[in-house]
Chain A
Amino acid sequence: MSAVYPQPLAWPSAGLVSLEGVSRLQVVSGKGGTGKTTVAAALALALATEGKRTLLVEVEGRQGIAQLFETEALPYEERKIAVAPGGGEVYALAIDPELALLDYLQMFYKLGGAGRALKKLGAVDFATTVAPGLRDVLLTGKACEAVRRKDKSGRFAYDYVVMDAPPTGRITRFLNVNDEVAGLARIGPIHNQAQAVMRVLKSPETAVHLVTLLEEMPVQETADGIAELHAARLPVGRVIVNMVRPRMLDATDLELVRTVPRSSLAQALSAAGLGGARRGGNAERLVDPLLRQAAEYAERHALEQEQRAVLGELDLPLHELPLLAEGMDLAGLYELATELRKQGLS
């Protein structure tokens, strides 16, 4: 990878191939634990709103989408998993590299039986797990095929394709693998396929979003990831801060909490009906733990503000999604989709 950092790509990229200025292939990456699958699913729902059709693609074989939509494990087949407000539809596909390879062989060489023979010999295993990048070529290739696919009337089969992609640390290599493979296989169908995929991935048709939390490591990885994507000339989309906790104490509260007499707090707690304010009383005994929680909150809040500032310097559109108090479920997913729409992501 070269060390040249080109100017950040302007957003939104001019709507060359994209519909309404929104890229048709939306790649969602993020550090492990930041909820990138959730964000990808919410984005697919948001993009499907008002009669659109989106395809949500999973490439890591974890069946995260099925779990999120509370359905059984997804087969290697595009199937409808959700209906969006206004009649839109979300389809999902869990890409299995082995089946994608056999698919590919079938498509290009009509090699049904030979495919099985290859499998017996371990060639499929070789191709999908050991051969450099072939697996990633198949995964990105399948996603790009879905982006470009048209129905009989010449319309795109899907308005948008959203990919739940590998984590930030691997995303550039994953998307760029076709470049590398095109370099390795300098001729032949793999070479051509790799180049075709790269043309889609490096165009404004694609946007790579990074999901982060307001914590040091994910933010650092996001900054590193963006630099790498820029260096590889892959189109960076937006930064989505996930699981943002609600603001519980404002600046005045945080100031006051450092100086307020404990007795005043005890009395206020007592006034609220939580027991005696006197030493040893129920209300009085709440003061210390509550103050400790406030101190933790203040520390965390300060750290979060620091990380917000770091993200602000990335010069990319920044979005925040709330932490859902009840944990993640299907209803929460629709909530996040609505939030994404409100914030103009779809």
Chain B
Amino acid sequence: MSPDPAKAQDAARPHLSAARVLDIDPLLDDPKTRIVVCCGSGGVGKTTTAAALGLRAAERGRKVVVLTIDPARRLAQSMGIDSLDNVPRRVKGTEGGGELHAMMLDMKRTFDEVVEAHADPERAAAILANPFYQSLSAGFAGTQEYMAMEKLGQLRARDEWDLIVVDTPPSRSALDFLDAPKRLGSFLDGRLIRLLTAPAKLGGRAGMAFLNVGMSMMTGTLGKLLGGQLLKDVQTFVAAMDTTFGGFRTRADATYKLLQAPGTAFLVVAAPERDALREAAYFVERLAAEDMPLVGLVLNRVHGSGAGRLSAERALAAAENLEEPRIVDQGGGKAGLRNSPDTYGSSESPASATPAPDDGSPASNDDSPAVESDSPDDSSPDADTNADTERSVDQLTAGLLRLHAERMQLLSREQRTRDRFTARHPEVAVVEVPALPGDVHDLTGLRDIGDRLAAERTELS
């Protein structure tokens, strides 16, 4: 984790101009905010964002539960939820008056619980033993999404927490978690099911002749396709589910409405990369189309520079300036060619400033740590040692400048990418989270992210 406070970097970061700034703390503090859903494509830091938001809300006094789908192992361990028991656990080590609970979704167990809660023991046992059910619950397309929403509904119904923060599954297509409940619900409550369970009933109805032909053809086809035994498994499963649940769709609809309710806030999480932001734009549009309350975009891993006024081009030119005399140095040790050969001789030369090995450019790919064993040039008198030191410092400085140039190029690329998003969606409030050099896997790290999430506001005011 970076020892630098977030502010040091923020200070020179080019600030959002066109876009509105998303104010995190009022959102987390508002007692009317009951659910925060973090969605976004894979690898953008969704889980970390959800955990950091949960921790921040808890430390600001709320009673929070974070529902994560697939956290990094060390993050899960640090929150004490690596034991996958599908119930929220109190996270130790939080500060302030609130409480943080966290859980990791076990989709199979969630599905089992649904079955057990709604069926009599005998029927539940039959369902749980059904091979079709076992495959369905173990995580085929849509099940994870469905169970995440089911769990959210359960947590909300218990009403034990002021705030539920949900991390969404890394879906194959971005909004499967919105679609899956509907799909599964409409399937389990739909015509197909009735057909599979009781084809005879339909056969007698007047006016259904056309459908009936289609259906008998279809049961035949399905039987051919799936094999009779699987079809029978499906029928048994469906029969058990159908009579027990009294409408899966009702549950799915309830969850869907919960997501649209005023107490819910959707946050789209992205990184300042083309693909992630394209996906984010899609999310924004989809959420709007579904009347889901979007509150803003969290842009993770944004780079900044404390030397933002030094452009990449100037930095590179300066680096070249420094390297040219160095090449001359190597030829004859003529340190006099430097632009300002003033006080270098008198500055104490650090022990580590042994001559740089001539292993090519500073951008060399040589990862060998053995360079230190290179012995200094035997014949070098003191003057040459100083020249060598200068040369090393020059080389280092050139390296620092090239590093800076790389940073500035990255920065402007990120800015262009982000500007494209804000041009397309100026209505979406954005908060930027500065990049950390390492991964986050403890509460301190999460707290730091939380500070960075909320830092933007205080700076602009």
Contacts and interface: CB of A to CB of B under 8 A. Distances in A.
Given A130-B141, A247-B367, A272-B319, A188 B226 contact: yes
A303 interface: yes
Contacts of B261: none
Contacts of B375: none
B403 A249 contact: yes
Interface stretch (A42-50, A80-88, A118-126, A155-163): A118-126
A293 interface: yes
A60 B141 CA distance: 11
Interface string A154-181: 0000000000001101100100010010
Given A61-B173, A271-B338, A294-B403, A255 B276 contact: no
B221 A114 contact: yes
Contact of B318 (A257, A263, A274, A328): A274
Given A117-B217, A184-B233, A256-B350, A31 B42 contact: yes
Contacts of B352: 255-256, 258-259
B73 A220 contact: yes
Contacts, number: 292
Contacts of B364: 247, 250
Contacts of A170: 172
Contact of A293 (B42, B354, B393, B407): B407
B340 A248 contact: no
A184 B397 contact: no
A62 B173 contact: yes
A217 B301 CA distance: 15
Interface stretch (A8-16, A198-206, A283-291, A336-344): A283-291
Interface stretch (A20-28, A131-139, A140-148): A131-139
B139 to A, nearest CB: 7
A34 B276 CA distance: 11
B43 A130 contact: no
Between B225, B306, B417, the greatest number of chain A beta carbons within 10 A of the residue's beta carbon is seen for B225
Given A121-B195, A167-B170, A270-B340, A297 B403 contact: yes
A261 B141 contact: no
A252 interface: yes
A288 B306 contact: yes
A296 B2 contact: yes
Interface stretch (B15-23, B153-161, B341-349): B341-349
A272 B278 CA distance: 41
A77 interface: no
Interface in B195-239: 195, 214-215, 217-218, 221-222, 224-230, 233-234
Contact of A305 (B141, B366, B367): B367
A268 B322 contact: yes
B406 A122 contact: no
A23 B404 CA distance: 42
Nearest to A180: B135
Interface in A239-284: 245-253, 255-261, 263-265, 267-274, 277
B437 interface: yes
Contact of A274 (B139, B214, B314, B367): B314
A171 B76 CA distance: 22
Interface in B1-43: 2-4, 8, 12, 41-43
Q: Is the interface of A mostly helix, strand, loop or mixed?
A: helix
B437 A299 contact: yes
A272 B318 contact: yes
B208 to A, nearest CB: 12
Interface in A284-316: 286, 288-297, 299-300, 303, 305
A292 B8 CA distance: 10
Nearest to B70: A169
Interface in B42-63: 42-44
Contacts of A106: none
A281 B225 CA distance: 79
B460 interface: no
Contact of B403 (A118, A187, A263, A293): A293
Given A251-B369, A273-B339, A325 B409 contact: yes
A52 interface: no
Contact of A64 (B142, B275, B310, B406): B275
A286 B408 CA distance: 14
B347 A133 contact: no
Contacts of B413: 326-327
A222 B444 CA distance: 27
B117 interface: no
B89 interface: no
B217 A259 contact: no
B339 A292 contact: no
A217 B397 CA distance: 33
A265 B397 contact: yes
A32 B319 CA distance: 36
A286 B307 contact: yes
Contact of A267 (B214, B344, B402): B344
Return the 5 tightest CB-CB contacts between A and B, nearest first. A32-B42, A33-B43, A188-B227, A289-B306, A132-B135
Interface of A: 31-34, 60-62, 64, 67, 105, 109, 111, 114, 117-118, 120-123, 125-126, 129-133, 135-136, 166-167, 169-170, 173, 177, 180, 183-191, 215-218, 220, 245-253, 255-261, 263-265, 267-274, 277, 286, 288-297, 299-300, 303, 305, 325-328
14 contacts: A33-B271, A33-B276, A131-B234, A167-B170, A185-B230, A187-B227, A216-B74, A248-B403, A249-B396, A259-B351, A269-B318, A289-B306, A303-B438, A327-B417
Given A130-B136, A289-B307, 15 more contacts: A33-B276, A125-B187, A130-B187, A136-B140, A183-B131, A188-B225, A188-B228, A247-B363, A248-B403, A256-B350, A256-B396, A257-B400, A272-B401, A295-B3, A327-B274
